[in-house]
């Protein structure tokens, strides 16, 4: 078993069964969501859901993670010691019958015997990269969607660094005109963003979009992970099943080069509507 090296102070509590001074531990008044683990061996011991304000100066829990904590009567027969089942680290003492919570149990634990692992929170932002013709038009429609928190137009998928608009339009950089979208997944899912993408450009047009011709106008989804890839392929299959001859390419996301300033929010600044894109219901 791998043990973490303890400081003298930690060893005093964890190995020699000492007690930290009340109201001094870092988890005494600490209410974040997550899991408390053994300082020495890392075994999960307690959940934040079972922590309560015992008012005694040490963290209090009215339940342990099943099997994680071993109870042992102190040598003097008065109190019940609690130890990490995995490594035997001293945690504190357990008291029953105090009537503080419905479970009528208080694990009184030294903060120093534990580490805290915060609960994984849902990311508040995700990104996606699409290419569907002139990026001015794609951006115009995508940024109107609720939950889309930001858009940036640029170039991706090519073989040159720091491409300029002029180079991309000349047609030998391999780059796509693309848009990077930031969105809040609690408001709009990647699937909804991707559906919108397939409905504001024509995914059956090869190497052009409306009046714009050139390989930079290819239709493509650049996926960030396997989930985005799976969702995209599923949407394309749905469209094909409806008879659309979809030519959209599905590729792993690579470096995204931000386009020149004057391309960003082009139509918003210009105060006009795109000539190249429009919404067509396809799903
Ligand atoms: Zn342990």
DSSP calls for 60-88: EES--STTSEEEEE-TTSSSEEEEETTT-
Question: Distance from first CA to last CA of the chain, Å, rounded?
Answer: 55
Q: What percent of the chain has pLDDT over 90?
A: 75
Is 108 catalytic? The answer is yes
Q: What was the pLDDT predicted at 71?
A: 94
pLDDT digits (tens, 9 = 90+) for 147-168: 998 899 999 999 999 999 999 9
90's enclosing H/E stretch is strand 90-96
- On whether the pTM is more than 0.75, the answer is no
Catalytic residue among 41, 134, 169, 276: 134
Complete DSSP assignment for 190-256: HHHHHHHHHHHS-TT-SSEETTEESGGG-EEEEESSHHHHHHHHHHHHHHHHTT-----EEEE---E
Catalytic residue among 38, 108, 169, 276: 108
- CA of residue 86 to ligand 1 center, whole Å: 5
Is 87 catalytic? The answer is no
Among 155, 112, 149, CA closest to 18 = 112
- CA of residue 70 to ligand 1 center, whole Å: 11
Q: What was the pLDDT predicted at 63?
A: 96
Q: Tally the residues of the chain.
A: 283
Q: What was the pLDDT predicted at 167?
A: 93
How far apart, in whole angstroms, are the C-alpha atoms of residue 252 and residue 123?
Answer: 21
Residue 66 has pLDDT above 80, yes or no: yes
Residue whose token pair is 């239709």: 219
Residue 132 has pLDDT above 90, yes or no: yes
Q: What would the mean pLDDT of 76-100 be, rounded to a whole number? A: 95
Q: What was the pLDDT predicted at 273?
A: 85
Q: What would the mean pLDDT of 163-191 be, rounded to a whole number? A: 92
3-class secondary structure per residue, 2-23:
CCCCCCHHHHHHHCCCCCCCCC
How far apart, in whole angstroms, are the C-alpha atoms of residue 187 and residue 149?
Answer: 10
- CA of residue 41 to ligand 1 center, whole Å: 4
- CA of residue 20 to ligand 1 center, whole Å: 18
Helix (H, G, I), strand (E, B) or coil at 157: coil
Among 70, 73, 51, 54, CA closest to 62 = 51
- CA of residue 37 to ligand 1 center, whole Å: 8
Residue 23 has pLDDT above 70, yes or no: yes
- CA of residue 3 to ligand 1 center, whole Å: 8
How far apart, in whole angstroms, are the C-alpha atoms of residue 277 and residue 150?
Answer: 19
- CA of residue 66 to ligand 1 center, whole Å: 14
pLDDT digits (tens, 9 = 90+) for 191-240: 999 999 999 999 998 877 877 888 899 999 999 889 999 999 999 999 99
Residues with CB under 5 A from ligand 1 (ion): 38, 40-41, 43, 84, 86-87, 89
- CA of residue 87 to ligand 1 center, whole Å: 4
């Amino acid at each position: 078993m791998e043990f973490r090296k303890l400081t003298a102070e930690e060893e005093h509590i964890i190995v020699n069964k000492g007690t930290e001074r009340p109201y001094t531990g870092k988890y005494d008044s600490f209410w974040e969501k997550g899991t408390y683990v053994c300082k020495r061996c890392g075994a999960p011991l307690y959940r934040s859901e079972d922590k309560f304000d015992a008012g005694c100066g040490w963290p209090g829990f009215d339940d342990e993670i099943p099997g994680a904590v071993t109870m042992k009567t102190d040598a003097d027969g008065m109190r019940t010691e609690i130890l990490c089942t995995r490594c035997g680290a001293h945690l504190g003492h357990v008291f029953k019958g105090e009537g503080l919570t419905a479970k009528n149990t208080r694990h009184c634990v030294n903060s120093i015997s534990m580490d805290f692992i915060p609960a994984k929170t849902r990311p508040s932002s995700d990104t996606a990269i699409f290419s569907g013709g002139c990026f001015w038009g794609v951006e115009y429609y995508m940024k109107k969607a609720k939950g889309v928190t930001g858009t940036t137009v640029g170039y991706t998928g090519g073989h040159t660094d720091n491409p300029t608009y002029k180079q991309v339009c000349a047609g030998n950089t391999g780059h796509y005109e693309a848009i990077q979208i930031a969105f809040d997944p609690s408001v709009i899912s990647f699937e909804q963003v991707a559906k919108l993408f397939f409905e504001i450009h024509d995914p059956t047009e090869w190497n052009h979009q409306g009046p714009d011709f050139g390989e930079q106008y290819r239709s493509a989804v650049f996926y960030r992970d396997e989930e985005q890839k799976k969702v995209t392929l599923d949407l394309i299959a749905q469209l094909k099943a409806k008879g659309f001859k979809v030519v959209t390419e599905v590729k792993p996301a690579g470096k995204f080069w931000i386009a020149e300033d004057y391309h960003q929010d082009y139509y918003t600044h210009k105060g006009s509507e795109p000539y190249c894109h429009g919404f067509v219901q396809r799903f």
